[in-house]
Structure 1
Amino acid sequence: MSIVIKTAEDIEKMRIAGRLASEVLDYITPYVKPGVTTDELNRLCHDYMVNVQGTIPAPLNYCPPGYIPFPKSICTSVNQVICHGIPNDKPLKKGDVVNLDITVIKDGYHGDTSRMFAVGEVAPHARRLSQITYECMWLGIDLVRPGTRLGDIGAAIQRHAENAGYSVVREFCGHGIGKRFHEEPQVVHYGTPGTGVELRPGMIFTIEPMINAGKRHIHTMPDGWTVVTKDRSLSAQWEHTVLVTETGYEVLTVSAGSPARPDLPVAHA
């Protein structure tokens, strides 16, 4: 499968889908508190997507080769869950951290984004992991422009995470996105500067680093979807969908409630 360069019409549709995905996260934010179940968060998001936005929740019944259909409309990854957590009836408790991963389909185009949430007061080490992961994502985004290579982005993310004492998950990565949920290229969050695909205007892909407080190794649970840290350490993830423009980048998954871009040193390829 080759990389799809988006047309002006594609890009406009992707802006809409990206904003709508981000607005689901804005909507659900006040509900993420101790005592709520991830099932309830899933129900609220599903109803908002379908009944308010007129979007389709992309994860529901999504079934790539080798998987069973994903049974819910969002992914809810709590504490040591790295990604693809399936919403369930277990209440969130004070001190938990949870990633909510939202992908909507609007007019045939996908918008994909995720945010970390603190449930009540959380421990300083959990806050730090979430913050460093957020910085990792933005360090990668800041390098997006024509001529950058994907290895430059991965290397910047890996360097920041490892300098903070963390590790980068290698089995899952960002991806091209458009009319299909997952397209080329694969955007890994580690690597060597000057290697990999060269970015061109019109590419759209996600940057979504998964950063572990402990070692990088993973374990997939018997449900076939939920991925956890092998050493049960905390994991964090943030995700944006990004367009390569003629001169740099445009983040497509932004809305009124999007967290501000962090204060970062200038990233260098």
Structure 2
Amino acid sequence: MYPASFEVLIPRSLDEALDMLEKYGENAKVLAGGHSLIPMMRLRLVKPAYVIYIGRIPGLSYIREEGGELRIGALTTHNEIEESSLLKEKNPLLSETASKIGDLQVRNMGTIGGSLAHADPAADYPGDPSRSRGQRRPQEQVGGEGRQARGLHNRPLHNRPQAQRAPSRDQAPALTGSFGTAYEKLVFRASDFAIVGVAALVQLSGDGTAEKVRVGLTGVDEKPVRARGVEEELEGKKLSEDLIARAAERASEGINPPTDIRASAEYRRRMARALTKQALTRAFKRASRTQG
């Protein structure tokens, strides 16, 4: 199917893009890599009169550390995130997550800003618990207040009204000390969105106690969720594989997974528990290896 008729606008600066968004409002959509918007337009699920292509705006593609935070420009591609030596050192969860998005062609074109703005409940980045601390952060945005990804999502394929437009950057902490991360993803094909995805972060104190445990799930509800019951079971304790296995049973608490052609709700619940165990076990082993 062909998309409905539309006009392409190509701003050369952030200010020009903002002016276009203000002028055309709900009749406009922002295009970056295009892997989410174009298919929806071809199916006529969305029919914007104007498509604002921001790919030629300079200064929106970068990965850098500032004040203990890792900052990633909205036009940074998944491949750049996967290959970043800074992220591999300071927050490898982002690099591992990016490596499991789509295929090489998608990772070379798709952007983190586009992925977060699209708000697909099975997307990979929003499940990253290192970025999801439940607080608002002022940051630049193409048309609105900046927020961390979990605060952006309202319902499937929709962001909150005050954050409808693509963020100009994303933020994550630069991790220090003894930490380990892991991302587990259940898919039928390597290029698919997650049926269930689980991201885990474990930080250990000097005596090996779990100082911080974070677990984020995607694909199991209308928006990304934190497995807080699992975190509560593990934080402040000496971790072991048996303890992790018991705690992982709480990963399905409070989630409302869908039933569709790919999996039933009950299967998603079982896989949430299984993948949580796998992700936490890998993260714990990696954190243990970094202890002096």
> Do both proteins adopt the same fold according to a TM-score greater than 0.5, normalized to the shorter chain?
no
Q: Which has the larger radius of gyration?
A: 2
TM-score (norm 1): 0.30
TM-score (norm 2): 0.29
Higher relative contact order (CA 8 A, sep 6+): 1
